[in-house]
């Protein structure tokens, strides 16, 4: 008896979440389909009901993270856009994000890995990056006159700040870097 559409969709989400978790921790080359499927608690054979290849999974996992990321959360009714943006930036540029995020942001955690992949993965990364910029620009329009170039500079700083912070071995330096990036991002966006 074949599975219904809802079950198949749930399985696909489990695979994507497992893939992103493993890819962001181990990279493309060091992550196998078997590991992804075991983490998702599904059989290896089920993989091909959802994806054509590991490369296909990688690109789709990157694309899907915009749905699962901290930046995709809905704004609570009791917060204005400025306060909400400050909260989102605080969560993104935090020690918890570099140590415990599930899934972590592929923009920061896969920045060099994606550069070595095929065009589909690079396009997925580009799409997520542009969506991040669009989201931040949407919030800033309501309280700031910052332009698209400023938003792009801020998001590049955010991604770079997280990427560098996660490589530092000194927690004090990590925290200082993240705090500096938060403060500068808020200032440049007019939310500080």
Q: Catalogue all structural domains in the chain, each as residue range(s) with its CATH number.
A: 5-52 (1.10.10.60), 67-189 (1.10.357.10)
Decide: 128 and 107 in contact? Cβ < 8 Å.
yes
Gap between the terminal Cα atoms of the chain: 57
pLDDT in tens, 111-154: 899 999 999 999 999 999 999 999 899 999 989 989 999 999 99
Decide: 44 and 17 in contact? Cβ < 8 Å.
no
Residue among 52, 30, 19 at smallest CA distance from 116:
30
Phi, psi (deg, nearest 5) at residue 191:
-110, 5
Indicate yes or no: pTM above 0.85.
yes
pLDDT in tens, 45-81: 889 999 999 999 999 999 987 666 666 677 888 989 9
Q: Is the peptide bond before 124 cis (omega within 30 degrees of 0)?
A: no
Tokens of 157: 């700083």
């Amino acid at each position: 008896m074949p599975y219904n559409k809802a079950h198949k969709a749930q399985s696909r989400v489990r695979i994507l979440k497992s893939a992103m978790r493993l890819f962001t921790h181990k990279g493309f080359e060091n992550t196998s389909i078997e590991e992804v499927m075991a983490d998702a608690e599904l059989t290896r054979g089920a993989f091909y009901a959802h994806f054509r290849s590991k490369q296909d999974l990688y690109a789709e996992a990157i694309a899907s993270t915009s749905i699962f990321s901290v930046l995709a959360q809905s704004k609570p009714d009791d917060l204005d856009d400025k306060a909400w943006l400050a909260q989102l930036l605080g969560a993104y540029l935090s020690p918890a994000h570099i140590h415990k995020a599930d899934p972590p942001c592929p923009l920061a955690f896969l920045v060099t890995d994606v550069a070595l992949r095929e065009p589909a993965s690079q396009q997925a990364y580009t799409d997520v990056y542009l969506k991040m910029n669009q989201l931040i620009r949407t919030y800033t329009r309501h309280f700031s006159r910052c332009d698209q170039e400023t938003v792009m500079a801020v998001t590049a700083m955010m991604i770079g700040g997280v990427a560098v912070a996660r490589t530092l071995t000194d927690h004090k330096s990590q925290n200082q870097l993240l705090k500096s990036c938060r403060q500068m991002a808020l200032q440049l966006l007019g939310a500080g």
